[in-house]
Structure 1
Amino acid sequence: MPPDWTRVGGYGAAALCAVYGSMKLAQALGANALADKDPLSPELHERLVARDPLFVASHWVLAGVAVVGVVVALATVRPWGVAVPRRLLLALAWAAGIFMIARSVGVVGFGFVPDALRLAGVVEVPAEHAALARELALWDLLLWSPFFLLWGTCWTTAAVRLRRVS
């Protein structure tokens, strides 16, 4: 029997959750780990770099959510996943996939479209923050948006497979 390539979505989502969670855990523990490249407003960016307690707490929460994401993603492809209600798995996989794809496109503020508009000068940025805005838009355009697009595609592939085999 040929391998089921649709399982790649679940394993890919789990792997990307682990990568993202590891980065957030490293940030929670004090490492930079690309924290200064997060696309945020200048005020929030300063708070992030200064290790504001709210951001440190958010890194711990996101690391925990990523662990849950690994388990959910693996539940879509592993035999023990049948113990988890299918509707719950489907809802979580679809929600994660749609949110991440929307984030990569720019529906939630940053993404391919807003970054391109910022870099093209269509979206005005205060002069005192222009260099930072350009740098963060480049990082988002070249790293974060493709990462979230891939991650969202993995989640939606896992959801499609799960719906098909249910």
Structure 2
Amino acid sequence: MSRADRARVGAYGAAACAAAYGSMKLAQALGANALADKDPLPPQLREMLLARDPLFVASHWLLAGAAVVGVIVALATVRPWGVTVPRRLLLAIAWTLGVFMIARSIGGLGFGFVGDALLLTGVRPAPVEHAALARTLARWDLLLWSPFFLLWGMCWATAGWRLGRRGSLANNRRHFR
């Protein structure tokens, strides 16, 4: 696979992940459960989420909107109309999102492979009053959310890496074929 093809895969992968995540958040904003009960949140926040607290409903609308922006930004890294967006801005967004999502998947932000493994092996004890729920959510995070964020982050990083290596978009229109 050529470098240009890898860039396309990264950009389209980031766009697809953003669309999937945004669709889930939109469904939650409209009242669907759509994995809301699998979010690895502290129990009091989880209860607010499942009770459709207005703050969580509003946050889902914001996240769905941010996902739409994410799709557009991801596609701007490989589509001809992306030349109108400042390259440095695209680079900053792609790398920031890539690093953030990879860190989240590994466990640098509290959740992720490391935190879930520590909880499930008993190295990090679960809260006594919510031990069963904490283990269930850690399993979901380990098997669904962390791999998803790792994939999404790698797609963003691939798109950013290729965009940075390619130079100015305006001078490299041939890469958009």
Fold match by TM threshold 0.5: yes
Runs of 4+ in 1 over 4 A off after TM superposition: none
- Over residues 29-67 of structure 1, what are the superposed CA-to-partner deviations in whole Å (9 max), with x where a residue is unaligned? 000000000001111111111111111111000000000
CA contact (8 A) 1:7 1:161 kept: no
Gaps (5+ residues) in structure 1? none
Gaps (5+ residues) in structure 2? 168-177
Partner of 1:91: 92
CA contact (8 A) 2:15 2:70 kept: yes
CA contact (8 A) 1:90 1:163 kept: yes
CA distance in 1, matches of 2:8, 2:94: 13
Identity %: 75
Partner of 1:106: 107
Alpha-carbon shift at residue 3 of structure 1 (Å): 6.7
Q: Taking structure 2 as the reference length, what is the TM-score of the superposition?
A: 0.91
Partner of 1:126: 127
Whichever residue aligns with residue 118 of structure 2, its letter is: L
Partner of 1:26: 27
CA distance in 2, matches of 1:2, 1:160: 10
Alpha-carbon shift at residue 5 of structure 1 (Å): 3.0
Between 95-104 and 124-133, report the one with greater CA deviation. 124-133
Distance 1:95 1:2, change over 3 A: closer
Alpha-carbon shift at residue 2 of structure 1 (Å): 9.8
- Aligned-residue Cα RMSD (Å) equals 1.3
Whichever residue aligns with residue 15 of structure 2, its letter is: A
CA distance in 2, matches of 1:151, 1:73: 11
CA distance in 2, matches of 1:126, 1:102: 24
Q: Secondary structure of 1:4's partner?
A: helix
Distance 1:93 1:82, change over 3 A: same
Partner of 1:154: 155
Q: Taking structure 1 as the reference length, what is the TM-score of the superposition?
A: 0.97
Distance 1:2 1:140, change over 3 A: closer
Q: Secondary structure of 1:110's partner?
A: coil
CA distance in 2, matches of 1:147, 1:24: 15
Whichever residue aligns with residue 69 of structure 2, its letter is: V
CA contact (8 A) 2:11 2:159 kept: yes
Partner of 1:6: 7
Whichever residue aligns with residue 50 of structure 1, its letter is: A
Q: Secondary structure of 1:30's partner?
A: coil
Q: Secondary structure of 2:155's partner?
A: helix
